Amino acid sequence: MGVSSGPLLGGDGFLTTKISAVANWGRKNSLWPMAFGTACCAIEMMGTFSSRFDIARFGAEAVRFSPRQADLMIVSGTITYKMASVCRRIYEQMPEPKWVIAMGSCTCGGGPFDSYAVVQGIDEFLPVDVYVGGCPPRPEALIDAVMKIQQKIDNEGPPIV
């Protein structure tokens, strides 16, 4: 990628790049979250989405409750085994490429619920990209997780088109 604004080219700036690199830049900056909120952490997630913390600054404000239009699953809240099959099914309905954030201690490892009904970490059935600890995590922590996902997309490199 190169930027140029030399007089030889008429003075207007332009940049050379590859379509795939632009596509990657685009998907990095327009993550569409699928909000899978099941408990208290979901409230904190809503706070992160709304104006005060404003996740729109990172291009991830288009929350979709339809998995087919989303590429980032934010699992926030206690996941029981009864819910786990639903969660997994929704994940499978999301088109590739897709990423998963495990928000809160519950999704990371069961949290305070060491009990018969609660999954001890959603990585038992989902490939998690970023874990966010806390009960619940602060909005800043969730934003940090989104930025980590962005870095990860960057590092993965452009898709082969």
Partner 1 sequence: MTSPADPVDQIREKISGYILSESTFREEITFTVKAESIVECCSLLKNTLGFTYLVDVTVVDYLTVKFPRYEVVYLLHRFGENYEENLKIRLKAALEQDNPAIDSVTSVWSGANWLEREAYDMFGITFRGHPDPRRILMPDDYDQFPLRKDFDVRDRESSKRCFERALDEGLE
Residues forming the site for ligand SF4 (CB under 6 A): 39-41, 77-78, 104-106, 111-112, 135-136
Instruction: Give 73's DSSP letter.
Output: E
Indicate which single residue of 120, 123, 129, 134 sits in contact with partner 1 (rule: CB under 8 A): 120
Q: Is residue 81 within the footprint of partner 1 (CB under 8 A)?
A: yes
Q: Which does 135 bind (CB under 5 to 8 A by kind): partner 1, ligand SF4, none?
A: ligand SF4
Instruction: Give 41's DSSP letter.
Output: H
Instruction: Give 63's DSSP letter.
Output: -
Q: Are 71 and 97 in contact (CB under 8 A)?
A: yes
Q: Is residue 115 within the footprint of partner 1 (CB under 8 A)?
A: yes
Q: Which is nearer to partner 1, 52 or 82 (CB)?
A: 82
H-helix or E-strand containing 153?
A: helix 139-156
| Both structure tokens of 138 | 């602060």
Q: Which is nearer to ligand SF4, 59 or 109 (CB)?
A: 109
